Amino acid sequence: MSDSVRTEFGDGIAVITIDRPEARNAVDKSVAEGIAAAIDEFESRSDLVIGILTGAGGTFCAGMDLKAFTRGERPALPGRGFGGLTEQPPQKPLIAAVEGWALAGGCELALSADLVVASREAKFGLPEVKRGLVAAAGGLLRLPKALPYQLAMEIALTGDPLTAEKAHAHGLINTLTEPGGALDGAKELAARVAANGPLAVRATKQIVSGAVRWTDAEAFAAQADLVGPVFASADAQEGARAFAEKRAPVWRGE
């Protein structure tokens, strides 16, 4: 694991923290490799249901580390994209817990998540056009799916930041917290998800995320492939028994 990425696992939740506060958590090759390794462990462990991606020191992520870039480093991994995440998000759900800036590639990391919890003082931005560049790590692809078309276009074309309050009003953010409370808010949301059947949560995330790209003809067949193993699982039987017996289910993830 990279020294610039910390992980914490427990109670069904994986917390992945970009830990370069001196560089506003800018992403270099080491960070990209650290995030990818953390995601791999999160995906492989049956005891982990949901993940949280956050940044240390009051900033989510300032994007690409330009100093590292000038040294020839590339903060993207083949097949996985910027930060080891944007082109291959996990199959399990992921929350972005945002304090301060989620800027450029940092905004694209946040947009790669399924849920967003942010401080009221957080700001999101894709300022690449101000530098004659293009936000090519998925931000321009995901933003119009998360926001009204005209607002997404304004943010993309002007490069101006979006406040957390406005992002929340338009549905980009699930929960607003007071400054310093984004990670705790994300953990609270994650705990509500982690209480559910892990196989069902994973399949549900895949169906909801796939629905925006499947055609009507593809959708039910793709859903059936994901749902079949869940209905045949021991957890499905346990959920039904627990309901009948009026007790909390004990999930096995199988």
Confidence of residue 216 (pLDDT cuts 50, 70, 90): confident
Arithmetic mean of pLDDT, 119-145? 95
Mean pLDDT of the chain: 94
Residue 85 has pLDDT above 70, yes or no: yes
Q: What's the pLDDT at 72?
A: 85
Q: What's the pLDDT at 14?
A: 98
Two structure tokens written together for 185 = 């808010």
Together in a domain, 231 and 153: no
- Residue 210: domain span: 198-244
128 is catalytic: yes
Q: Who's near 164: CB < 8 A, 6+ residues apart?
A: 98, 118, 119, 120, 121, 122, 123, 124, 173, 176
Together in a domain, 120 and 213: no
Of 33, 99, 108, 121, the catalytic one is 108
Angle of helix 105-112 versus helix 139-146 axis, rounded to 10: 50
pLDDT in tens, 142-173: 999 999 999 999 999 999 999 999 999 999 99
Together in a domain, 89 and 212: no
Q: How many domains does the chain have?
A: 2
Structural Rg of the chain based on CA atoms: 19
33 is catalytic: no
Amino acid at site 215: T
Arithmetic mean of pLDDT, 201-222? 90
Of 33, 99, 121, 128, the catalytic one is 128
Q: Is position 75 within any domain?
A: yes
Cα gap 69→72, rounded to integer Å? 5
Q: Is position 252 within any domain?
A: no
157: helix, coil or strand? helix
41: helix, coil or strand? helix
Together in a domain, 185 and 237: no
Q: Is position 87 within any domain?
A: yes
Q: Which of 178, 194, 210 is the last residue of a domain?
A: 194
Together in a domain, 189 and 207: no
Return the higher-pLDDT residue of 243 and 194: 194
Q: What's the pLDDT at 190?
A: 98
Confidence of residue 1 (pLDDT cuts 50, 70, 90): low
Q: What's the pLDDT at 2?
A: 72
